[in-house]
Structure 1
Amino acid sequence: MAVRRLDSRALDPVLDDLALRELYAHPPGLTRPSVRVNFVSSIDGAITDGDTVSSLTTPADKALFFALRAVADAVLVGAGTVRAEDYGPAGGSAEVQRWRAEHGLAPIPPVVVVSGSAGIEPDSRLVTAARVAPVLITSATADAGRVAALERAGVRVLRCAGAEVTSAEVLSALAGLGLLRVLCEGGPTLLGQLLADDAVDELCVTTSPLALGGQASRIAHSRTAARRPMRRGHTLADDDGTLMVQWIRDRS
């Protein structure tokens, strides 16, 4: 793996894990949750090869994935992605945990799941393997028995006011927990909702050097389209053809 910046005038050396963390560090002094989204897709826009993203990931994409987690207060994800990808808790090596502590972050970020129906299982790997309690943001109408079972298993459950979980309520819940550096890892429904509500501050898209065809979903889908102009930030590339572009939503 040889990841280099394409947006720099200088000939940058290969970026190692530490350099990626520094490059993608969140700005200081945040007063509200800043939502960064990370996705990988094929050249022709597919986000899965079958049911999961595993065949699309490359060494460079994995390095960026872990670097973005290393600088986040929380990992935000939809319940469908938790189920499809058999999500485990966020962790990190002892070195990563030391680095986070040295930079004012909790050693391990919690995984925050959005699901109006409380659609995760108490015996899922996300719950049973967690060293930091996962958080579930769910609706007022979620099944009380399911919620109680999750709470008994150690999940911190936050209920919203209505029958749906809105983006505003997600952001309010994150702010209330002091989780301002937010990394959203999908899925397409959650990203579509966040885009529709103009709640995405940054979108990191890795293009895997692979064309797939087929009928796979795109990285975001919603009932209606929403135009969200963004400017290009960092552009990184690996020798294997992987391309990683950061898109930033300016809020002037």
Structure 2
Amino acid sequence: MGPEYPSSGSAISGREPADRFVMGLLRACADAVLIGAGTLRATPGHRWTPDHVCPQAAPAFAELRRNLRHAARPELVVVTASGDLPTEHPALQSGALVATTADGARRLEGRLPPTCTALPAGEGPALRMADVLAALHAHGHTAVLTEGGPHLIGNLLGEGLLDELFLTTSPVLAGRADTPRPGLITGLELLPRQPAWADLISARRRTSYLFLRYRLRSSGARVGLRSEPAL
């Protein structure tokens, strides 16, 4: 939402249990959870694991991962071109892959926790998400879930790399006045010249919440997007 609202998902969803269960379920099905550095900074206490967001379903999530022959937890992947990360973040202390440029890797040298691995995925000042995904596939990660933020989502969509969108619609209204608040996608102009159409795969309802799953029509890779609840 804005700098004074570090956890916009919780603010919009009201910490609805069904929404948190869906988020945990998506993480439980993923090999890796992909986020940007801004998302990491905005949620200083979060861990991108199924049991963190929905602890009451932890045994079921663990059984599902065993049945899918996944590792005990999805691997967290943080994308940063600059290497500017809060290395004390508990999610990094628990272990993560850090996808970055050669310059970013040099900046992080000696700063990352020993549980983390720098993953150079580009020589220039910017990262191509196709290179990041290729590096993840080389690590054996084929089912990749991204939880943003909006710049990362814009980069993935701009390269045609989003496969599906999981969108929660929350029954709350919000407005904008003087608070800068990005939407689902930032840094990519779509309408009117480049509309990104999607087909609805499924819709579920829990009280006044809607849980929607879309397939992007022009996707070229296998990345699922779990969005913030929509207004």
TM-score band w.r.t. shorter chain: 0.7 to 0.9
Q: Retained in 1: the 8 A contact 2:97–2:116? A: yes
**Hey, what's the Cα distance between the residues in 2 that align with 1:95 and 1:83?**
30
Q: Which one is further off, 66-75 or 219-228?
A: 219-228
Task: Name 2:198's counterpart in structure 1.
Answer: 230
**Hey, what's the Cα distance between the residues in 2 that align with 1:192 and 1:83?**
18
Q: 1:233 to 1:47 in 2, by over 3 A?
A: farther
Question: What is the TM-score of this pair, normalised by structure 1?
Answer: 0.74
How far does residue 95 in structure 1 lie from its aligned partner after superposition?
A: 3.9
Q: Retained in 1: the 8 A contact 2:105–2:120? A: no
**Hey, what's the Cα distance between the residues in 2 that align with 1:208 and 1:95?**
25
**Hey, what's the Cα distance between the residues in 1 that align with 2:211 and 2:61?**
22
**Hey, what's the Cα distance between the residues in 2 that align with 1:183 and 1:82?**
15
Q: Which has the higher helix share?
A: 2
How far does residue 209 in structure 1 lie from its aligned partner after superposition?
A: 0.7
Q: 1:200 to 1:188 in 2, by over 3 A?
A: same
Paired residue total: 202
Question: Structure 1 regions of 5+ residues with no counterpart?
Answer: 1-45
User: Does 1:98 find its partner at 2:83?
Assistant: no
* Offset from partner CA, 1:210-231 (integer Å, 9 cap, x none): 0011243211111432422210
Q: Retained in 2: the 8 A contact 1:48–1:56? A: no
**Hey, what's the Cα distance between the residues in 2 that align with 1:85 and 1:168?**
26
User: Does 1:64 find its partner at 2:18?
Assistant: no
How far does residue 47 in structure 1 lie from its aligned partner after superposition?
A: 9.0
Runs of 4+ in 1 over 6 A off after TM superposition: 46-49
Q: Which one is further off, 211-220 or 49-58?
A: 49-58
Question: Structure 2 regions of 5+ residues with no counterpart?
Answer: 52-57, 220-231
Task: Name 1:137's counterpart in structure 2.
Answer: 99
User: Does 1:154 find its partner at 2:109?
Assistant: no
* Offset from partner CA, 1:119-149 (integer Å, 9 cap, x none): 2222211122x1xx30000012216242332
Q: Retained in 1: the 8 A contact 2:23–2:50? A: no
Q: 1:50 to 1:113 in 2, by over 3 A?
A: same
How far does residue 162 in structure 1 lie from its aligned partner after superposition?
A: 2.1
**Hey, what's the Cα distance between the residues in 2 that align with 1:76 and 1:47?**
21
Q: Which one is further off, 180-189 or 227-236?
A: 227-236
Task: Name 2:32's counterpart in structure 1.
Answer: 74
Q: Retained in 2: the 8 A contact 1:89–1:125? A: no
State the SS of the aligned residue for 1:195. helix
**Hey, what's the Cα distance between the residues in 1 that align with 2:135 and 2:195?**
26
Instruction: Look up the equivalent residue of 1:243 and give its one-letter code.
Output: L
Greater length-normalized contact order (CA 8 Å, ≥ 6 residues apart): 1
User: Does 1:50 find its partner at 2:10?
Assistant: no
**Hey, what's the Cα distance between the residues in 2 that align with 1:184 and 1:203?**
10
RMSD: 2.2
User: Does 1:184 find its partner at 2:146?
Assistant: yes
State the SS of the aligned residue for 2:104. coil
How far does residue 48 in structure 1 lie from its aligned partner after superposition?
A: 9.3
How far does residue 111 in structure 1 lie from its aligned partner after superposition?
A: 0.5
**Hey, what's the Cα distance between the residues in 1 that align with 2:48 and 2:168?**
22
How far does residue 97 in structure 1 lie from its aligned partner after superposition?
A: 1.9
Task: Name 2:47's counterpart in structure 1.
Answer: 88
Instruction: Look up the equivalent residue of 1:90 and give its one-letter code.
Output: T
Q: 1:55 to 1:48 in 2, by over 3 A?
A: farther
User: Does 1:112 find its partner at 2:77?
Assistant: yes
State the SS of the aligned residue for 1:211. coil
